[in-house]
Chains A and B, each alone.
Chain A
Amino acid sequence: MSYAYLFKYIIIGDTGVGKSCLLLQFTDKRFQPVHDLTIGVEFGARMITIDGRQIKLQIWDTAGQESFRSITRSYYRGAAGALLVYDITRRDTFNHLTTWLEDARQHSSSNMVIMLIGNKSDLEARREVKKEEGEAFAREHGLIFMETSAKTAANVEEAFINTAKEIYEKIQEGVFDINNEANGIKLGPQHSPASGGAGGNRPRQSSDGGGCC
């Protein structure tokens, strides 16, 4: 299938916070209460539309356990967006955010858009982390924030799509060098013939061209 851009995402966060379930809800629109333990990295992909343009999200779902970090780190490089997930019913998963964030920032491009996600918002009765705490953390570290529920699908679409919108805006503003794949963005196959030689460093031009149709 053709697309204008491909954005590479990673999903990170402690084990058991619901990373794979978020991905499954986003790509398959279903919830699987017992999901296989992720070993290493698994994948998902979905096409979305922003400003009438097809964008393929390629999502790398990483294993949460620390022992896998040596391998998951190598995946940070070349990601345009990251979903950093914690579980609102487990305080420790919130406490570990700083470590995850440091890790992500250290191993990724400085332009990577990071969305902080407090998952399992359907379990209000077992909440250990207040929404305000999440918001404060996000503000302090310059992240976008959202609470989601992979079970009820609340905010799941929004989380993935808002991240994409932010990346898209950065492309339009010329912040991302889209010809460097290490940034996690790739021009789609439909781009090259349509924009005739826009392979150069002019992302804004080519996106303007697409916008007028």
Chain B
Amino acid sequence: MRIEKSGRSRTAAAVVILAMAAVAALPRISAAETTLRIGMTAADIPRTLGQPDQGFEGNRFTGLTMYDALTMWDLSSADKASVVIPGLATEWKVDDADKKKWTFRLRPGVIFHDGSPFNADAVVWNVEKVLKQDAPQFDPSQVGVTASRMPTLASARKIDDMTVEMITKEPDSFLPINLTNLFMASPAKWQKFYDAAQGADAKAKSQAAWAAFAKDASGTGPWKMSSFTPRERLELVKNEGYWDKARVPKVDKMVLLPMPEANARTAALLSGQVDWIEAPAPDAVAEIKQRGFGLYSNEEPHVWPWQFSRVEGSPWNDIRVRKAANLCIDREGLKDGLLAGLMVPATGTFEPGHPWRGNPTFQIKYDKPAAQKLMQEAGYGPTKKLTVKVQTSASGSGQMLPLPMNEYLQQALAECYFDVQLDVIEWNTLFTNWRRGAKDPSANGANATNVTYAAMDPFFALVRFLQSSMAPPVSNNWGYINNPKFDELVTKARQTFDPTERDKALAELHAASVDDAAFLYVAHDVAPRALSPKIKGFVQPKSWFVDFSPISMTP
């Protein structure tokens, strides 16, 4: 009896203790810290000092997370094209009398992560970090990745605390779009590092200050740096005081891990070491899905093309040949076969639905008889094949599967009387040759080059390839396209300052380039990524970038 009583009282005590423990644990569970761990494709953490390296993957992870720009991309929709929206500037306009002068009104009440205020001085300071060579904060290492993305910006001047004037070298309606690439770092934080820096001269002190800033960065973005181990991991925590309350991150912490090898990334995801990986190994896609992970992809502003040489004697100078090549490729077959669905067939630089698409009359599709007919009209046939040579790489950022894809094209084009020769070179060499142009000996006799490109803004997507003045050594008009109509439309687009009208002009330019079959348009990448089922609220926009703020995680 005693024993029974004792047993009962022990049970009761255990129940009470368990209940108390459960009650005590409840708030802890609800307040448990959530951490999002991401395996990036980069071999190193992209630079953290404000202007990231490693292309747009850098901007995605260490640019848009910790920093804001005056203008930003709308990343809220998976269906609509991503367009420019106000960021740290609330409004902007070009001067009616002098189209090289712009006025930007700044967002009030924004503070950097270190508590210093964001204002006109900060904007001028950030412009000068990449454009004014005698400014103490001028950093050559940030110039390349920034100045080339806003090629016409010349200087900035403070009007008042909340107003800045920007001056361009020529009238340029693309400026607000280009400014998405200039991230605002904290001048106050940098100055502290500069004052404490050791160095033989101002240049050495500046270099040391930037190195220190990179380890303890301060921007205005929705994420704050909490710890950084170079080449291994970057830990970010949410910025509770972010100016856009709707974009205060729902996850407490984000850990970024460089994992350049696709199989390693995939293994890390499948073993639960990370919650999110960029570009999973294609042959593991089935297993990833089968294990319940989410596979996301969407059309990216990216083009996988052949860029034609238009120098004298190039076979691509005949528009029938250019059109025939575009009609001879079964892009759906490439998508469903080789790429396991991870591409969007390209019918131009922009696809229908994009504001810069326009209405091209030449419909790019698979029509082998039409392609053969065009080639026969151009003087080629089964017994007289046209030899073309394309330079490509075996790998490279954005190149997708360059060799197998080019071999696919080689086989497809053979049926339209092309004899395609591939000149495979190392990726960085191909990239460097791109700026040298088709006339340079580095082209090695090739009359096409296969370098993929980002199509986020009009300069990157169209102008640098189509405007005759962009021929080497100025920019990437590798094939020396010299079409007065393109030049006229570029000027028109650049000098049209009403955004709607500017978009119409860009659409006209794009339609003209498709009608001219300026490229062999093949594919758009779809930025595949695999996510743990714990991740909720993710939207994959039609962009190179992602907004991490709305993402939440279930325990």
Bound together:
no
